[in-house]
Structure 1
Amino acid sequence: MKELLISLLNFFGLAWWVEVVTATPRCTYYFGPFLTTVEAKAAKIGYIEDLENEGALGITASIKRCKPANLTIADDLGKIGDLGGWPVFSGQS
């Protein structure tokens, strides 16, 4: 029942999300949706810890009502083909 309520709130953009912005890499992450701000705040700590463990710097987080179109927005990771071709992975030529 709770999942149905969260889905309904999210559909209307009324669910709560954790927005985490990192300076390095320059990314915005959305985690959620949550039914209450209390649930979002409790989960926020774990998301920040995970990003710190992955080496992210300049982390800020906020709780907001929104309906993100994308869960990850990477501003400085580049695009495949930026260097004129496709990446070659180990074992490929």
Structure 2
Amino acid sequence: MSMLWNNLKESLTSTFQNFGLAWWVEVATQNPRCTYYFGPFLNNDEAETASKGYVEDLEMEGAQGITVNVKKCKPEHLTISEDLGELIDHKVKPVFSGQIS
């Protein structure tokens, strides 16, 4: 049953993403000056829960001045590095792909 639910959830999340209704975690850091987008998520609660792990990872990498904003959006780029003046565009991959249940 959980595999069926995961497939349905991934499909719903993808549909929400197509319409700009999916939830994303926007994480901005002051040092380095970057903005990261993590998602998409089906709802705010899932995004909020996942955001803690993203912040922990960035802190372990030495990022400073971290702010988090969970919102509905459809980001064009998943990483924006203001210090380097670059946009790093990774393929948007649903957060459920590759997860083991």
Same fold (TM over 0.5): yes
Identical aligned residues as a percent: 63
Q: Where does the alignment leave 5 or more consecutive residues of structure 2 unmatched?
A: 1-7, 87-101
Tell me, in whole angstroms, the C-alpha distance in 1 between the residues paired with 2:17 and 2:85: 30
Aligned pairs, number: 79
Counterpart position of 1:73? 80
Residue 51 of structure 2 is matched in structure 1 by: 44
Letter matched to residue 81 of structure 2: A
Specify whether residues 3 and 26 from structure 1 end up closer, same or farther in structure 2 by C-alpha distance, changes over 3 A only: same
**1:17 is matched with which residue?**
24
**Alignment TM-score, normalising by the size of structure 1:** 0.82
Name stretches of at least 5 consecutive residues in structure 1 with no aligned partner: 80-93
Question: RMSD of the TM alignment (CA)?
Answer: 1.0
Aligned partner letter, 1:38: D
Would you say the 8 A contact 1:17–1:32 is kept in 2? yes
Structure-2 separation of matches of 1:25 and 1:14: 29
